[in-house]
Structure 1
C-alpha cells in the first residue's frame, strides 16, 4: 500500500511535503477568517479573495506545464516553493504588525495564485520522475493522503491558534513550514531521478498541448467533468466558512472543525485509492454522482454537528473522484506531453474558481446554504450527463483510459530506464 515510500527521493519529498502542507492548510483557514474579519463577514469579499487567488491559473498553469516539459523540474520547484514561503511571510508580517488591510490580502492572494499556478503542474509531473510509472498511482494516492492528513491537522491547529494568538502568527508558521519541502527537494539524489529528456524550446508548444488534448475524447471527457465539479461543487474553502459563521453563528474554531471533518473523509478516500492499482472509469463516474448527492444532503442538515458528520462521506467521494481523475490523466499521456497536459488539467481543476468563487459568494449573500446545495446539484447533473455520453460511446467498463499516440507525432522511442 505504501510501496512508493520505499524510494529514497520520494521519501524525502513526502517527509518535507507533509510539514509544508500542514502550514498551507493553517494559512487557508487563517486567510479566509482574516478576510471575513476585515470585510465584516462578507461572503462576497471571500469570493473575491478566492477569485484573485485562482485567477492566475487561467493565465499561467498551461505555461507552467510547458516549463515542466522544458526545464529541470527539481530546480524549478526549489525556486517556486521558496517564493510561496515568502508570500506567507509577507502576509504574516503585515498582520502581526497590525497594518494589514483587505487590499493587502487581495494582492497577496494574487501573487500566491501566480506562483501556485506554475508550481502545481511542475510538482504533479515531477512525481513520476521520483517513483517511475509502476508506482505512479500509489504515489498520487499517498500525495492525497498527505494532503488530507494535513487538512485534518492544519485547520484544527489554525482554529485554536486564531482564537488564542491571532491569524498573523499562523501565516508566519506557514512560512517556516516551507523549509521542510525545500530541504527535502534540495537533498534528493539527482542520479536516482527517472528523467525524460527536456523538451527543446520551440514555438507553438503550448498550442501543441491544447491540440493534443482536443484530439483525445477520453481526456476531454475527464477534464470537462473535473471542470464543472471543481468549479461548482468543491468550493469548501468558502462554503464551510459561510455555513460556520453565517448559518450556524460559529467562530473560527467551528470553521476549523468543519474543515477537519471533511478532511477525515478525504483522507479515508485517499487511503482507499492507494489500494487500487489502476484507475477505473466506473469508479470515476460513480464517485462523482455520489459526491453530488451527498453534498446536497449535507447542505440541508439542520445543525452544524450533522453538517460536519455529513462532510466525512462527502470527503470520501470527493477524494475518490480526484485521485482517479489525476492518475487516469497521467497514465494516459506520453511522457513528453505530461507537463503540458497536467498544466491543462490544473487549469480546468482550479481555473473555474474565478467564476465559481464570486458566484457562490453571491448565492451565499442570499442564503448561506445555497452554495453547497446548488454545487451538489450541478455536480450530480453533469456527472449523470457524462455517464450517459460514455455509455453511448461504449467507454464505461474499460479498466482505465489507454495512452493513444498523438496523430501529429512520430511513434515514441522511450528509454527503458525512464519509466515515466
Structure 2
C-alpha cells in the first residue's frame, strides 16, 4: 500500500508539470513569471510613492479604485469580446501598452517630476490595460497546449503568480529603500519584454465565431445562469464579500507598515511577501487535496480571524504571521470556487462565467479600497482592518451554520 501511494504521488507530481512539454507554453510561462515579478514590484512601489507624497490613507483608497475600477465596469464585456478578436493581437497590444505605462511612470519618478495626480492617471491606464489583458491571457492558454494539458497550464500559471506575489514585494522593498520607487517602475517596464516576445513567437490561429456577436444578449445569458444556479450564486457572493471586505487590508498596508508598525519599505515588502507565501501554500494545498466540503466558507471564516489578528498586531513578526494565514485563506477560497465553476459550467457558458468570476473578484477591490480608505481616515487603520475582519466572519457564519445545500459544491 505505501508503494502504491508513493507511485500515485509521483504520477500526480509529473502530471502537474506536463504543460511544460510544449515549447510555446514554456516560453509563455517563463515570460509570464518575469512579468508577474515586475508587476508586483510596481504594486508595492506605487502604493509607497502615493503614501510618501500624500501621507494619506484615503489617497491609497483612491489609488486602488483607479487601479481596479475599470475591471468593475469592463470585465464582463471584455470577456465576451475576447472570443471575437484574435487573442494574440490583444496580448501584443496590452503588453506594449504596459511597457509605455510603466516606462512613463519610471521617467517621471526618476527625474523628480512625479506628482500624485500623475500616479493616479497612470494607475487608471494600468487598470484599463488589465481589463483587456486578463481574459485574453487566460483564454490564450488553450492555443499553447492541448485541452488534456490545460489544467496543468492553468495551475502552473497560478503558482507563478503567487510566487511573484511572494518574491516581488520583498525585492521591491529593497529597491525602494536603496534606490527609490522609480527603479521599480523601470524594472517592471523591462519585465514585459520577455512575455511580449513569447506571445510574438506563437503563430496566430484563425478563429471563426460560432455565432454573430451580440454582446448584451450573450452577457445577460451568462448572468442569468449564474443567478439561477444557486450554488454558483452563493460562491460568487462569497467572492464578492472577500474582495470588498477581506482584501481591503491590502490597500492599507503602506499606512499600517509606516504608522502602526513603525517600519519602512523593507517591512512593507515583507508584509506583502508574507501574504504571497500564504497564497502559494493555499493554492498548492487545494491542488493536492482537491475540493473539500466547506472549504469556501471555512476559508472565509479563517480569513476574518486572521485579519482580526492583523488589526491587533503591534509588531512586524505577528503581522506577517497573520498575513500568511490571510493569503492561504484567500487562495484556498478562490481556487475552490474557480475549480467548481470551471468543472460544472456548460461548455457554451464557461468563458462568460469565468469572466464573471474574475469581474466579481477584481471589481470588488476598488469598492473595498475606497471603503477602507474612508474608514481608516476617520477611525484609524487597525479599526478599518478590524471592520473588514468582522464582516468576513459574519458572512462565513451565515453560510456555515445552515450549510446544507451548499456544502456539496465545495
Fold match by TM threshold 0.5: yes
Contact 1:89 1:171 in 2 (8 A): yes
- Does structure 1 residue 146 correspond to structure 2 residue 160? yes
Question: Which residue in the other structure is 2:327 paired with?
Answer: 315
- Does structure 1 residue 328 correspond to structure 2 residue 343? no
Question: Which residue in the other structure is 2:286 paired with?
Answer: 273
Alpha-carbon distance change, 64 to 390 in structure 1, aligned in 2, over 3 angstroms: farther
* Aligned residue runs from structure 1 range 4-403, under 5 A: 4-39=19-54, 41-188=55-202, 199-202=211-214, 204-276=217-289, 278-365=290-377, 366-388=379-401, 390-391=403-404, 394-398=405-409
Name the CA distance, whole Å, in 2 between partners of 1:373 and 1:131.
44
Following superposition, the deviation at residue 190 of structure 1 comes to 5.3
Following superposition, the deviation at residue 388 of structure 1 comes to 4.3
Alpha-carbon distance change, 281 to 329 in structure 1, aligned in 2, over 3 angstroms: farther
Give the SS at the match of 2:381. coil
Name the CA distance, whole Å, in 2 between partners of 1:27 and 1:300.
28
Name the CA distance, whole Å, in 1 between partners of 2:391 and 2:143.
36
Bigger helix share:
2
| CA distances 1:275-307 after superposition (whole Å, capped 9, x unpaired) | 24x544532232222222222123212312111
Alpha-carbon distance change, 352 to 94 in structure 1, aligned in 2, over 3 angstroms: same
Unaligned runs of 5+ in 1: 401-420
Contact 2:42 2:184 in 1 (8 A): yes
Q: Which shows bigger deviation, 204-213 or 166-175?
A: 204-213
- Report the RMSD for the aligned CA atoms in angstroms: 2.2
Name the CA distance, whole Å, in 1 between partners of 2:280 and 2:189.
24
Give the SS at the match of 1:250. coil
Unaligned runs of 5+ in 2: 1-15
Contact 2:77 2:219 in 1 (8 A): yes
Name the CA distance, whole Å, in 2 between partners of 1:110 and 1:370.
28
Alpha-carbon distance change, 198 to 272 in structure 1, aligned in 2, over 3 angstroms: farther
Following superposition, the deviation at residue 91 of structure 1 comes to 0.9
Alpha-carbon distance change, 252 to 296 in structure 1, aligned in 2, over 3 angstroms: same
Aligned positions, number: 393
| CA distances 1:62-90 after superposition (whole Å, capped 9, x unpaired) | 11101122222232222122212221111
Name the CA distance, whole Å, in 1 between partners of 2:89 and 2:42.
25
Following superposition, the deviation at residue 128 of structure 1 comes to 4.3
Alpha-carbon distance change, 119 to 27 in structure 1, aligned in 2, over 3 angstroms: same
| CA distances 1:231-282 after superposition (whole Å, capped 9, x unpaired) | 1111343232221011012111110111112211112222223324x54453
Following superposition, the deviation at residue 42 of structure 1 comes to 0.4
Contact 1:35 1:45 in 2 (8 A): yes
Contact 2:261 2:314 in 1 (8 A): no
Alpha-carbon distance change, 38 to 284 in structure 1, aligned in 2, over 3 angstroms: same
Name the CA distance, whole Å, in 1 between partners of 2:56 and 2:182.
20
TM-score (norm 1): 0.87
Name the CA distance, whole Å, in 2 between partners of 1:126 and 1:285.
31
